[in-house]
Amino acid sequence: MTQFSPNALCFGEEFPASGAPCVVQIERHGLTITFESGSGDRAQEMVPFAVFAVTAGGLDHDHLVLKWGEAQRARTLYLKNPDLIRAFREAAPDHLSQPFEQAAERVRQVRHRHRVMWGAVGGSIVAVALGLWFGSDLLVEMAVSRIPVEWEQKLGEAAYRDFLSHQEVMKEGPAVNAVEEMTQRLADQIPNSPYKFQVTVVKSDVVNAFALPGGYVVVFTGLMKKADSGEEVAGVLGHELNHVLQRHGLERIVKSMGVMAVVAIIVGDQQGLIGLMRQVGVELLTLKFDRAQETEADLTGLQLVYRAKIDPSGMITFFQKLSEKDEGRLEWLSTHPVSSARAERLKAELAALPKHSSEPFTFEWKTVQDALGVQPVAAP
Amino acid sequence: MRSEILYPGAFPMVRVELASGEHIKAESGAMVGSSPTVDVESKMEGGFLGALSRKLLTGEKFFFQTLRASRGDGEVLLAPTVPGEIVILELDGVNEYMVQKDGFLAGADSIVIESKMQSLSRGLLGGEGFFILKIGGKGTLVLNSFGAIHKIELKPDQEYIVDNSHLVAWSATTSYNIEKAASGWVASFTSGEGLVCRFRGPGVVYIQSRNPGSFGAWIRQFIPVSE
């Protein structure tokens, strides 16, 4: 007697739930199914092709399922062996090949769906990773737009007070009046601004000006001495005010705090965020804007100056002047990398705007400079 | 090879008698004791990559251990880590079982174990993870569970619903879908059942009477939090 090596499972009323192992042989007119009882006796059953119903089944739809009989005599046969399935397909008469192909098609569909699903998951993971990599600016903008202006003001004010406490502040005089007038003219052109701009003149030979989040602007007397006209200083102010308006400082802070902060803001975890902001608040003064932010502030600054009917060419000449080699301490340059390309871009932008007449300031720039103690340069 | 379950109940142990030269594979760390004739070998089932993928993907131990009666007849005692019942199945070469990753305790050397990726929805929601063990071949298979083990027998097209984290093993002839326990999503989760698996026969489903995840959550509240 040969060894009994089953190749299929048969299910039915009298068989165990896990199925009865059996040997299936494909014959010309049907299947021969051999069972072995516990005592080793074998029983054979011949089932003609005519009675079968064909489907696919099993956990992964990789079994060929043959059903026949009714009620108590109902039988279900599960075939898994690929060779056996192939042999069945070849031997099966025409009326079975259609359901067989349908079952095969269904298996292919299920497998295809699994591949598509896994592909979609893999694809979306890659997309999210790429999105985070390239779209971080967008996320940062989303996060920044959710920070209330009051927070921004508190943050800026703290840094502002801290900075001014170490500086000699110019309280009054023609320079202060001039800067206030410029700021007023610019701010008038920003309708519905949530910020109340506060500009302070600091006595220092440093050629610099900066803006803190919340509308706190600092202009150094060094910059005012360097400028040849009020319009030049106004150009710098227009640029700085736009850093505030576009919330560039917050964007930098949020970026330096990282993705966790962005997530905290978007989901509204304000407690965690305040803690994070305290940590970086100190670093506000050393904040550098990136190239895209500078360009944005340049262009919007130019438009603001233009709307305020301040001669925009002042802004351009000042940028050009700064890009020339100079012996002075041009700190504005270190935070605002000036290239001649920048002035060129502004020129091009200005050319696109319709010409209109500028209104001069009420102050004499010479008076301002005299008050600052600028020695008139002797004409060569 | 002959195996019997000692102390059936919550804290059982399996005694496997090995004839000289016979060997079995067992979950690494499962051996409790053995005759001096039995040698323990560590073996990476399916080669290094197979073992690595099993470790990374199913979280199953990297090595199975092989227990070989190399110097004459002997016996081995095996026990699982968690309290719970043990069941011994005789695989006939045709029946294959899907086993969730903690369910395998030991098996004859002739059984075949592979890691298998589930479909996305089953992997994500089924509670067994994306990878499960597919065990086939011919010989003895020893499974363990958390809590008591219960066998559900399904006739062709008969259906049964099982909470997703109570699964231990199921035959490859069954199929299942993940669905919500109640008709609405909110009701599903507030009922504490969440997602369930709807099994369809024919075949056998082994389930465990305790949910390891819930037990972990329950016991966590008694663990002092270190400052």
Q: Say yes or no: A144 and A202 in one domain.
A: yes
Please tell me whether the peptide bond between B202 and the residue prior to it is cis, using omega within 30 degrees of 0: yes
The number of distinct structural domains making up chain A is 2
- For A83, the domain range is 8-109
A200 in a structural domain? yes
B208 vs B187, higher pLDDT: B208
Q: Which two tokens stand for residue A52?
A: 């079968």
Q: Which two tokens stand for residue A261?
A: 């902060």
pLDDT at position B79, please? 94
The number of distinct structural domains making up chain B is 1
Question: From the CB of residue A104, how many other CB atoms can be counted at a distance below 10 Å?
Answer: 17
User: Residue A197: CB partners within 8 Å, gap ≥ 6?
Assistant: A183, A186, A187, A215, A217, A241, A244
Residues of chain A above pLDDT 90, percent: 6
Closest chain B CA to residue A76: B156
* B204 interface with A at CB cutoff 8 Å: yes
**Mean pLDDT of the residues in chain B:** 83
- The residues pairing with B40 across neighbouring beta strands, listed in sequence order, are B67
Q: Say yes or no: A157 and A206 in one domain.
A: yes
A317 in a structural domain? yes
Give the HSE-up count for residue B69: Cα atoms under 13 Å, Cβ half-sphere: 20
Q: Say yes or no: A152 and A192 in one domain.
A: yes
A271 in a structural domain? yes
Q: Say yes or no: A162 and A98 in one domain.
A: no
A21/B92 Cβ within 8 A: yes
Q: Say yes or no: A25 and A145 in one domain.
A: no
Distance of CA B117 to the CA centre of its chain: 16
Phi/psi class of residue B147: alpha, beta or left (left: φ > 0; alpha: ψ in -120 to 50)?
left
The stretch A91-113 carries a mean pLDDT of: 84
Measured between alpha carbons, how far is A27 from B135 in angstroms, rounded to an integer? Answer: 31
Identity of the residue numbered B221: Q
A3 in a structural domain? no
A350 in a structural domain? yes
B129 in a structural domain? yes
Give pairs for A109-114: CB < 8 Å, separation 24+: A110/A60, A110/A61, A111/A61, A114/B119, A114/B120
Q: Which two tokens stand for residue A104?
A: 């095969």
* B159 interface with A at CB cutoff 8 Å: no
Q: Is A262 exposed, middle or buried (0-12, 13-18, 19+ CB in 10 A)?
A: buried
A121 in a structural domain? no
Measured between alpha carbons, how far is B128 from B122 in angstroms, rounded to an integer? Answer: 8
Q: Say yes or no: A216 and A363 in one domain.
A: yes
Low-confidence winner among A180-189, A336-345, B210-219 (lowest mean pLDDT): A336-345
- Which residues from A are below 8 Å from B95, CB to CB? 9, 18-19, 21
Measured between alpha carbons, how far is A313 from B123 in angstroms, rounded to an integer? Answer: 66
Q: Which two tokens stand for residue B5?
A: 């379950």
B61 in a structural domain? yes
Q: Say yes or no: A361 and A224 in one domain.
A: yes
B227 in a structural domain? no
- Which residues from A are below 8 Å from B119, CB to CB? 114, 117
B70 in a structural domain? yes
- For B11, the domain range is 2-220
B211 in a structural domain? yes
Residue with tokens 């739809």: A61
Smallest CA-to-CA distance from A361 within A200, A169, A175, A173 is with A175
pLDDT tens track for A130-140: 877 776 677 77
- Domain-ending residue, one of A91, A109, A127: A109
Q: Say yes or no: A68 and A164 in one domain.
A: no
Whether the pLDDT of residue A275 is over 90: the answer is no
Distance of CA B166 to the CA centre of its chain: 11
Smallest CA-to-CA distance from B164 within B190, B192, B136 is with B192
Q: Say yes or no: A29 and A146 in one domain.
A: no
CATH code of the domain covering residue A13: 2.30.29
Start-to-end C-alpha separation, chain A: 123
Report phi then psi at A24, rounded to 5: -105, 130
A9/B173 Cβ within 8 A: yes
Identity of the residue numbered A118: W
pLDDT tens track for B2-56: 899 999 989 999 999 999 999 998 887 889 999 999 988 866 555 566 556 555 5
A380 in a structural domain? no
Partner residue opposite B154 with nearest CB, options A13, A17, A57: A17
The stretch B165-189 carries a mean pLDDT of: 81
The stretch B64-73 carries a mean pLDDT of: 88
C-beta separation of A191 from A174 below 8 A: no
pLDDT at position B56, please? 56
B94/A9 Cβ within 8 A: yes
pLDDT at position B160, please? 94
B122 in a structural domain? yes
B51 in a structural domain? yes
Chain B, 160 to 189: residues with Cβ < 8 Å from chain A are 170-176
Whether the pLDDT of residue A196 is over 90: the answer is no
Complex prediction ipTM: 0.77
Q: Say yes or no: A105 and A247 in one domain.
A: no
* B198 interface with A at CB cutoff 8 Å: no
* B140 interface with A at CB cutoff 8 Å: no
B181 in a structural domain? yes
Interface test with B, best of A59, A68, A112 (most B CBs within 10 A): A59
A120 in a structural domain? no
A17/B156 Cβ within 8 A: no
Smallest CA-to-CA distance from A56 within A12, A127, A106, A15 is with A106
C-beta separation of B77 from B113 below 8 A: no
Q: Say yes or no: A92 and A164 in one domain.
A: no
Distance of CA A72 to the CA centre of its chain: 64
Report phi then psi at B67, rounded to 5: -110, 115
pLDDT at position B170, please? 93
